[in-house]
């Protein structure tokens, strides 16, 4: 009995209870656009302007997508809980649960999960583990702005369930390795349908990167690798059997490298990021992939990813009164291989992100912002100029349009109020 009591006391002494901190904010957006846009969450998550849609009238043609539109909503109000301080022996565990309101269906806001992860670390160990849904390692460092899309599609935007290991290599370097599962941000595939099945039957997404950090400078380089199976079966039209199917084992494998730089001095901060993405839809980029070849003897498909270059540079200065700005640029560079020219009977052989018009070839964005931070209250005004180049005509062998180009410009004005608690 004495031994049992002693063991129970020792057991209790190994455990340190958790500390809890509730946080969140009430946020309102008032936005106005000069034309119709592609976006989500009541168009607060602004992606790209819509292309021209000419209609005939008694007085000639007009662009149906050109015209003032606005909205005023509190959708992105957020609630969160931070858990810290828990220890079991030499192991420490912290965590976060975070939710906000979102239009999952219809027009009634629904509470949705944003983040839910735990962090594990050990005394005198250089390794820390993150398990659960959190920001993608390539999306965590965002440009300076107060809009909801935080730079997308010029900046990767993705939160995913993951297992991430951060390994300290001395005082200034950290190695990061992740295995991720696609969840919210889905690619377009056969039939122009977005589905997580393309990844579920492939291999885990993997990320490997290294960070160099000093008091004033942070630099990151990394690469994201994705393996997915858009087709698992196809109709075996070459077999003289009704409704015959063939199993497809081919994978689409992509590599997306990136670099991030940050410099801080006093109240000034400068950030820059550039990514060369292959089939980067899972990062909310204007990207895609297609079919390069099809072998009926083995039912194997050779896929080819669309390459896209997306970059931004941004700065922020001030504390109570802040000035911010971002410049972003993205361009489709075409597929890595020629698209299949014949012998593909299954409809489209190229799939591009349907979050925006698939004719967009390149785009530019500038977002100057001013913000007043009065304690826990923030008022900000932002102007968002986005110009997109729309292609026309046929696509060439690398998926780029060969016809005339047309630039379309949208002017967005944003007023945001936020009360943190």
Q: Is the pLDDT of residue 104 over 80?
A: no
| Confidence band of 243 (pLDDT split at 50, 70, 90) | confident
* 9-60 residue pLDDT tens: 444 558 899 999 999 999 999 999 999 999 988 899 999 999 999 998 888 8
Mind listing the domains of the chain with CATH numbers?
A: 21-420 (2.40.160.10)
With a CB cutoff of 8 Å and minimum separation 6, the contacts of 3 are none
Nearest CA to 380 out of 204, 176, 147 is that of 147
Q: Are 147 and 414 in contact (CB under 8 A)?
A: yes
Mean pLDDT of the chain: 93
* 264-295 residue pLDDT tens: 999 999 999 999 999 999 999 999 999 999 99
pLDDT, average across residues 197-225:
95
In order, the DSSP letters of 294-348 are EETTTTEEEEEEEEEEEEEEEEEE-SSEEEEEEEEEEEEEEESSPPP-SS--SS-
pLDDT at 202: 87
Burial 161-184 (b: 16+ CB within 10 A, else e): bbebebeeeeeeebbbbbebebbb
Considering Cα of 139, then 144, then 147, then 152, what sign does the dihedral take? negative
């Amino acid at each position: 009995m004495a031994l049992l009591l002693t063991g129970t006391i020792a057991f209790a002494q190994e455990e340190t209870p958790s500390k809890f901190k509730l946080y969140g904010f009430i946020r309102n957006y008032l936005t106005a656009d000069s034309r119709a846009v592609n976006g989500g969450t009541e168009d607060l998550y602004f992606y790209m302007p819509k292309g021209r849609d000419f209609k005939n009238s008694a007085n000639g043609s007009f662009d149906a997508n050109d015209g003032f539109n606005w909205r005023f909503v509190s959708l992105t109000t957020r609630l969160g809980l931070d858990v810290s301080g828990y220890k079991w022996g030499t192991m420490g565990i912290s965590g976060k649960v975070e939710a906000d309101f979102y239009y999952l269906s219809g027009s009634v806001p629904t509470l949705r999960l944003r983040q839910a992860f735990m962090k594990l670390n050990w005394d005198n160990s250089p390794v820390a583990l993150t398990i659960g849904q959190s920001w993608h390692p390539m999306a965590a460092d965002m440009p300076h702005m107060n809009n909801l899309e935080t730079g997308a599609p010029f900046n990767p935007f993705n939160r995913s369930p993951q297992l991430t290991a951060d390994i300290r290599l001395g005082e200034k370097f950290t190695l990061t390795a992740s295995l991720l599962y696609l969840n919210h941000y889905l690619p377009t595939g056969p039939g122009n349908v977005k589905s997580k099945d393309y990844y579920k039957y492939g291999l885990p997404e993997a990320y490997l990167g290294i960070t160099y950090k000093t008091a004033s400078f942070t630099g990151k380089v990394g690469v994201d690798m994705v393996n997915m199976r858009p087709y698992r079966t196809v109709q075996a039209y070459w077999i003289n059997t009704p409704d015959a199917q063939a199993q497809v084992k081919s994978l689409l494998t992509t590599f997306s490298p990136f670099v991030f730089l940050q410099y801080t001095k006093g109240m000034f901060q400068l950030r820059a990021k550039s990514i060369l993405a292959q089939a980067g839809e899972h990062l909310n980029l204007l990207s895609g992939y297609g079919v390069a070849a099809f072998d009926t003897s083995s039912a194997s498909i050779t896929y080819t990813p669309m390459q896209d270059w997306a970059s931004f540079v941004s700065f922020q200065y001030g504390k109570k009164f802040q000035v911010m700005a971002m410049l972003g640029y993205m361009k489709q560079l075409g597929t890595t291989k020629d698209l299949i020219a014949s012998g593909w009977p299954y409809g489209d052989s190229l799939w591009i992100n349907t979050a925006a018009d698939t004719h967009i070839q390149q785009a530019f964005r500038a977002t100057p912002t001013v913000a007043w931070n009065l304690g826990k209250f923030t008022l900000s005004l932002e102007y968002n100029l986005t110009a997109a180049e729309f292609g026309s005509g046929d696509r060439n062998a690398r998926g780029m349009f060969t016809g005339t180009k047309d630039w379309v410009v949208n002017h967005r004005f944003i007023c945001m109020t936020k009360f943190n608690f």
